[in-house]
């Protein structure tokens, strides 16, 4: 009697031996189309910043005659020379902004992570009350006048660096985001196993929870750094001493205001030639470049953690 050998099915074959069709696979044609679409979208995001750089390097007279163009007929660095006329003051302002950004971001991460971690633990008895307290501040706030009174009359922080740090140090939105991140990423079993091994609450938090939560921490840290770097309103409120060095954004605003004043009041000052030679439009673009470039250069270091922080918890299983 002849024996019948049945060929085992390979992976991806149906019962008849034919290859199964993978409906989730992308064909080469659509792969090229999607790559082109993503590339065009990325270029549309980068192009405005490149356009601003080119305008800042355009000669002011050429800009007035030819308008905005991606490749001007005549280049000039007059805008950057005008901005850097302040000399050491610009470098000092950059240092103040850098110090405020670094100290403020570290303080924000310390406050937000500890607050949100406590809210994420089921064993915390008052987490409902403190969650409502954080959410309430997103809907209602005391306003600018009470905040100014607290900062100047009670805390006496006017004309100090802490007046630029403390108002932005704690955000209810960041607390809610990190609380959700801890709940979806750090299981209770991990913390409980650490406690069984003898670790206390702080030891488990610093040794177990924080290393797991680097994507969320980097995301909140990037948002906080952007807020501190671009802040100028607190300097406008609390920096009234002209002898103190203002932050970078506030200094750039002062330079623009002085330039606009000279341009609009040249007829009263009797100096038409100086006002006509001011690179008004290109200076604005140069200030945008100077204010944005450090953050643009720092973003690639946060990109990997930033993307992980945005997508974590979206797919389970």
In the predicted model, what is the mean pLDDT of residues 253-266? 68
The CB-side HSE value for 315 (13 A sphere, CA atoms) comes to 2
Mean pLDDT of the 106-126 span: 88
Tell me the three state secondary structure of residue 72: coil
Q: Please tell me the pTM assigned to this model.
A: 0.74
Phi, psi (deg, nearest 5) at residue 58? -90, 145
For the chain, give the percent of residues with pLDDT over 70.
79
Does the structure show a pLDDT above 80 at 263? no
pLDDT at residue 209, as a whole number: 85
Supply the mean pLDDT for the chain.
78
Q: How confident is the model over 227-247, as a mean pLDDT?
A: 85
Query: Which residues fall within 8 angstroms of residue 8, CB to CB, at 6 or more apart?
Result: none
Widest CA span of the chain, in angstroms?
A: 117
**Cβ-count burial of 199 within 10 angstroms (0-12 exposed, 13-18 middle, 19+ buried)?**
middle
The DSSP letter of residue 205 is: I
pLDDT of residue 317: 43
pLDDT value, residue 46: 85
57 within 8 A of 33, measured Cβ to Cβ: no
DSSP lists the bridge partners of residue 13 as 19
- Alpha-carbon distance of 84 to 106, in angstroms, equals 30
pLDDT per position as a tens digit, 6-43:
455 555 555 555 555 555 667 788 888 889 998 999 88
Going along the chain from its start, the domains and CATH numbers come out as: 83-311 (1.10.3720.10)
Q: Which of the pair, 233 or 251, is modelled with greater confidence?
A: 233
**Confidence check: pLDDT of 104 > 90:** yes
φ, ψ at 12 (rounded to 5°): 90, 5
3-state secondary structure of 278: coil
Output the pLDDT for position 3: 52
Q: Indicate the Cα dihedral angle 215, 220, 226, 231, nearest 10°.
A: -170
Tell me the mean pLDDT in the region 55-76. 79
Residue 106 pLDDT: 93
């Amino acid at each position: 009697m002849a024996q019948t050998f049945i060929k085992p099915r390979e992976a991806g074959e149906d019962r008849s031996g034919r290859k199964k069709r993978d409906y989730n696979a992308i064909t080469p044609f659509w792969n090229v189309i999607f790559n082109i679409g993503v590339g065009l979208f990325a270029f549309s995001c980068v192009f405005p910043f490149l356009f601003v750089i080119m305008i800042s390097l355009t000669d002011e007279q050429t800009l007035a005659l030819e308008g905005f163009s991606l490749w001007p007929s005549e280049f000039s660095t007059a805008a950057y020379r005008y901005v850097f006329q302040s000399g050491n003051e610009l470098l000092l302002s950059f240092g103040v902004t850098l110090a405020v950004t670094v100290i403020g971001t570290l303080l924000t991460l310390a406050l937000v992570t500890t607050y949100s971690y406590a809210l994420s633990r089921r064993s915390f008895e008052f987490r409902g009350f403190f969650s409502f307290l954080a959410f309430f501040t997103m809907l209602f706030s005391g306003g600018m006048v009470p905040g100014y009174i607290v900062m100047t009359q009670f805390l006496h922080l006017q004309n100090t660096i802490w007046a630029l740090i403390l108002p932005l140090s704690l955000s209810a939105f960041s607390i809610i985001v990190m609380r959700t991140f801890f709940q979806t990423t750090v299981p209770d079993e991990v913390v409980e196993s650490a406690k069984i091994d003898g670790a206390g609450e702080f030891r488990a938090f610093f040794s177990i929870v924080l290393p797991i939560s680097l994507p969320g921490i980097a995301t909140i840290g990037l948002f906080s750094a952007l807020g501190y770097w671009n802040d100028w309103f607190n300097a406008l409120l609390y920096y009234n001493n002209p002898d103190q060095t203002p932050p970078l954004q506030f200094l750039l605003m002062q330079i623009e205001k002085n330039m606009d004043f000279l341009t609009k009041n040249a007829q009263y000052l009797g100096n038409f030639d100086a006002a006509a030679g001011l690179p008004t439009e290109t200076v604005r673009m140069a200030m945008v470049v100077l204010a944005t470039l450090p953050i643009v250069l720092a973003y690639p270091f946060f990109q990997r953690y930033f993307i992980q922080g945005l997508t974590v918890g979206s797919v389970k299983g």
